[in-house]
Amino acid sequence: MAADSHYLPNLRDLQFNLFEFLDIGRTSLGKAPFGDMDETAARQALETFAQVACEQLAPSFAEAEHTPPRLLDDGTVALPEGLKGALAAVYEHGMHHLELPTHLGGMGAPPSLCWASFELVVGAHPSVAFYLLGNFLSRVIDRLGTDSQRKRYLPAMVERRWGGTMVLTEPDAGSDVGAARTRARHVEGDVWELTGVKRFITNGDFDATENIVHLVLARPDGAGPGTKGLSLFIVPKYWVEEGGRLGERNGVVVTALEKKMGLKASATCEMTFGDGRPARGLLMGEVHDGIRQMFHVIEQARMGVGVKSMAALSTAYLHALAFAKERVQGQDLGQAREKSAPRVPILRHPDVRRMLMSLKAHAEGMRALCLYTASIQDRVEVLGGHRAPEAAGVDALNDLLLPLVKGYCSEKAYEQLSLALQVHGGSGYLQDYPVEQYIRDQKIDSLYEGTTHIQALDLLLRKVARDGGATLMGLLAQVRETAEGDAGGTELAAERAALVRALVDVEAMYGALMGKLGESLYHVGLHGNRVLMATAELLVGWLLVRHAAVALERSRAHAADKAFYAGKLASARFFCREVLPGLAHAARMVEASSLELMDVPEDSF
């Protein structure tokens, strides 16, 4: 790690997930539609990206916090120089090529490897990762745009590194996207003019690229209310002529920058369309299918937020561990009655060990959940891609997992980050250590791209209900197969038993909730978050047990890595003993659910 880098990547655990547990060298790498990268090349790519993340992205992490972006008089946003240098490093080292398909000049890597590399970028400098959205939007236009739109935009977006944004939220609508009032008036062909104001737009403008492509939800004149009346438009900062040449400044401008608790290096913008000059855009694909089209971006963003939370927790854990090894304070409790006993590193204290193991188990569990989900996305692509009939089953599984990745990781990481600060003691409250910035930067993750409760409603009312619970039951059947099997032999018998009990609790929770739906949907509103968290914790426990079984097997043949594999076993044991028993209480709470809270008069709050 560079001397001025805050970032501590866990490359070894990334490699374990990808190549020892998920075995993407066999299941994904080199398979159509992915490029011809093999496992050796994939490992080398991760090692290079980790080095770039530490040496060229992370050093501007604190600088950009203290000298954040500035809104200039002309409505453009100026980034600090260090942040612009970090963005340039991503492109100079070809990190953006990993996710691009080969026909766009990229490596065509599978999602599992792409999300692993994203962890390195977003852990080192989360704001940098969000300024790279234009790279993904080129894939969206490639998939959903017309031939004319692809020819017009894609060469420049990829080769000239244009930025990109997703533009949904409005001041009076918030999370109620269907209440959006931004209007679109047809001009000719696929050209429209937009008028309205959007809010909370991540990186709506920045001066590190010559153009920015906004994907904007707006309501065409005459369209009906709600989300079904929305269409998606490609609206550039500078108009793009049919041959791809840049034209005049378009009528979309930043009118305010939000002052935020954290993640200050990411410019959160109020955007005004059509005030003073027309804001022209192209109707995506020449079809009025806005909300379904935008979900291609929303789902990517939700996955990215989950990975961001996990990455923050992972590096915070490694900082806390290093501090605990170096900080000498107090006597070992086992020698507390001996006045002459020496002072010891705080890693010897039971409470510090408890906090560190909780951090380790949760960070590794979240990584397992994120990369397992990414591996499902690999399978979707191998089977024909999103919406392909052959991929329907795994596509539904990915849909089910996304609210868990986003909702669970964002909520639980914030809770666990407080433990990382606690390990540092009073020092953690100072800016001498990065954990205080991690906490402020990470808190937004539970709020944007759909709050935690929106994720819970999505899980229960859309993903589970859509097929009558068939996808959920299929996933729980896999958990049962592990729990009732012999993975890890006698050494994991207690953990498998804990998994059985947790599975019974989660099944009881769903059964109780489904039984109460006939009375009122309020029960979902009251307990949706609890069900989401419990479901995710069951899956994390399942994955950690499977990790431990692989670690036990491999430790017999790889003596040099024995400490790492013993750590995998310790993570699984801690999670099964300290976390999974809590699912019984969660199940009882759902079973005992009443609607009394909804009857409390408003004046009584």
Integer Cα distance of 159 and 244 in angstroms = 12
- DSSP designation for 238: E
Integer Cα distance of 291 and 285 in angstroms = 13
537 is catalytic: no
* Nearest by Cα to 57 from 95, 113, 110: 95
Integer Cα distance of 157 and 155 in angstroms = 6
* Nearest by Cα to 163 from 190, 124, 127, 189: 127
* Encoded tokens for 529: 């978050």
Length of the chain: 605
Integer Cα distance of 221 and 234 in angstroms = 17
Burial 230-246 (b: 16+ CB within 10 A, else e): bbbbbbbbbbbeeeeee
Pairing verdict, β 246-249 and 231-236: unpaired
Helix (H, G, I), strand (E, B) or coil at 271: strand
Phi/psi of residue 183, nearest 5 degrees: -105, 155
Q: Catalytic one among 119, 364, 381, 449?
A: 449
* Nearest by Cα to 411 from 537, 249, 496: 537
Residue 154's H or E segment, with its range, is: helix 147-159
Q: Residue 68 in contact with residue 140, Cβ under 8 Å?
A: no
Integer Cα distance of 239 and 245 in angstroms = 9
* Encoded tokens for 474: 């299929």
Beta bridge partners of 257: 269
Q: Residue 458 in contact with residue 450, Cβ under 8 Å?
A: yes
Q: Residue 365 in contact with residue 544, Cβ under 8 Å?
A: yes
Integer Cα distance of 516 and 539 in angstroms = 24
Integer Cα distance of 201 and 271 in angstroms = 7
Integer Cα distance of 133 and 137 in angstroms = 6
User: Of all residues in the chain, what percent are helix, strand and coil, respectively (each to 5)?
Assistant: 60, 10, 25
SS (H, E, C) 99-121: CCCHHHCCCCCCHHHHHHHHHHH
* Residue type (1 letter), 462: R
Pairing verdict, β 246-249 and 343-345: unpaired
Integer Cα distance of 597 and 211 in angstroms = 51
Cα separation values, 125 from 253, 265, 309, Å: 26, 9, 12
Integer Cα distance of 331 and 313 in angstroms = 29
* Nearest by Cα to 506 from 540, 465, 546: 540
Integer Cα distance of 583 and 298 in angstroms = 30
Task: Enumerate the active-site residues.
Answer: 449
